[in-house]
Amino acid sequence: MSSNAGTHHSNQPMLSAKALFCERDDRVLFQGLDFELQSGEVMQVQGSNGSGKTTLMRILCGLNDNFDGEIFWHDEPIKQQVPEFRAALLYIGHRVGVNKVLTPMENLRWSCSMQKKVSDQAILQALAEVELRGFEESPCYTLSAGQQQRVSLARLSLSPASLWVLDEPFTTLDARGVGNLEKLLESHAGNGGSALVTTHHPLNVADLRVLSLG
């Protein structure tokens, strides 16, 4: 397991882990895993299928407690500050998380209401940024898999979260969608946010750091 560090933007990491260990079905996924993610950094989590990338993301987001080791948020144990951590987190898993009966507008109104009230104007702008202008009021079951993925990713520019955890966000995107998402990641890091991303796609993002599993 390795992490090749890029530029550090502050001394105190936003998110860090010490000696993480996880096994599934008597098979060790990772052990002795340490990493630090600073404000303003994008980190790509790499590894072959079955190496534990999704498991690691779910552990870091508090969705899986079947592990040993410590996770820290701004150098304090995460379990002592769960509400603060959750308020700062936006997790998008590889299941798109879009209600197919609702329209993109309705989906985003609902998902944004969990963190802060967002105007319809801001939602329309976010949908335009992911090239869904004209599909705002179409039920999501009428959209392609890639368009449904874009509805989910429109949450990124609407969320106040400082930490993005994105599991395979590029899977169904075409080349334009990939470029748009890379720009969003760079802009988020440029504004002091951080992102953890699993993808098999080579990421074209400045100052990228890589964490390799397996």
For residue 74, give the amino acid letter.
Answer: H
Q: State the pLDDT at residue 4.
A: 42
Alpha-helix runs per DSSP H in the chain: 53-60, 82-88, 104-112, 120-129, 145-153, 155-158, 175-190
Q: Is pLDDT of 5 > 50? A: no
Q: What does the block give as tokens for 81?
A: 């500050």
| Rg, Å, the chain Cα set | 17
Domains defined for the chain, CATH in brackets? 2-212 (3.40.50.300)
What value does the mean pLDDT take over residues 53-82? 94
Q: Report the alpha-carbon distance of residue 123 to residue 90 in Å, rounded.
A: 17
Q: State the pLDDT at residue 6.
A: 41
Cα–Cα distances (Å) from 29 to 16, 39, 66, 108, 175, in that order, read: 18, 27, 12, 35, 32
Confidence of residue 190 (pLDDT cuts 50, 70, 90): very high
Token look-up 């993480």 returns 20
SS3 28: strand
Q: State the pLDDT at residue 7.
A: 41
Tens of pLDDT, residues 133-183: 999 999 999 999 989 999 999 999 898 899 999 999 988 888 888 998 999
Mean of per-residue pLDDT scores for the chain: 89
Q: State the pLDDT at residue 121.
A: 95
pLDDT higher at 66 or 96:
66
Cα–Cα distances (Å) from 190 to 38, 39, 53, 102, 186, in that order, read: 12, 9, 25, 33, 6
What value does the mean pLDDT take over residues 77-100? 90
Q: Phi and psi of 151, rounded to 5°?
A: -60, -45
Report yes or no on whether pTM surpasses 0.85. Answer: yes
Please give the span between the terminal C-alpha atoms of the chain, in angstroms, as a whole number. Answer: 6
Q: What does the block give as tokens for 139?
A: 């039920």
Confidence of residue 8 (pLDDT cuts 50, 70, 90): very low
Q: State the pLDDT at residue 201.
A: 81
Q: State the pLDDT at residue 61.
A: 93
